[in-house]
């Protein structure tokens, strides 16, 4: 039986590429989550007015990869200390967020964040939101597996 996980960590193209390489991740989709706007388009989200973050929703096999392992990768592939920004991308749509699917994921996400803080892994406070998963609006087809469609596996950040 598979489970879902949803993460926002900047531009969704690179985040999707990182998670697609994980053994046990069955499928990925990029899209928009965390806002109030119905059926947003990429242009809507880029305006910064919808409240949505660019996000990746994964389906994973917990017998092959644990949610904790996915969380560890989440912390590794972006800077969770920059509010509404990742690299050159600026705006609330690029915020760091964990959208949990149920109380088990919420507890795991909060414990994982606390481990990052206790370890002093980052020099600044972590600003990652940990919030309930809401409607996930799948992005337009041209955004799905963007780097793979262009013969690349990442944008060079990981």
Q: Catalogue the active-site residues.
A: 11
* Cα–Cα distance measured from residue 144 to residue 88, given in angstroms and rounded to the nearest whole number: 21
- Name the phi and psi angles at 104, rounded to 5: -65, -45
Residue 79 · residue 36 · CB < 8 Å: no
* Cα 107 to Cα 130: distance, rounded to the nearest angstrom: 10
Q: Determine the Cα–Cα distance for residues 41 and 20; give it in Å rounded to an integer.
A: 23
Q: Cβ–Cβ contacts within 10 Å for residue 119, how many?
A: 9
Rounded CA-CA distance 131/140 in Å is 24
């Amino acid at each position: 039986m598979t489970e879902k996980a949803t993460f926002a960590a900047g531009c969704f193209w690179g985040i999707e590429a990182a998670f697609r390489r994980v053994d046990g991740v069955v499928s990925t989709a990029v899209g928009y989550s965390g806002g109030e706007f119905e059926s947003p388009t990429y242009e809507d989200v880029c305006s910064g007015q919808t409240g949505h973050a660019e996000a990746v929703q994964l389906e994973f096999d917990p017998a092959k990869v644990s949610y904790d392992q996915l969380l560890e990768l989440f912390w590794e592939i972006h800077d969770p200390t920059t509010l509404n920004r990742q690299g050159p991308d600026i705006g609330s749509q690029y915020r760091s967020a964990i959208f949990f699917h149920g109380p088990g994921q919420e507890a795991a996400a909060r414990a994982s964040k606390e481990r990052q803080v206790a370890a002093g892994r980052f020099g600044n406070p972590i600003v990652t939101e940990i919030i309930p998963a809401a409607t996930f609006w799948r992005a337009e087809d041209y955004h799905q597996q963007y780097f793979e469609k262009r013969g690349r596996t990442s944008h060079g950040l990981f």
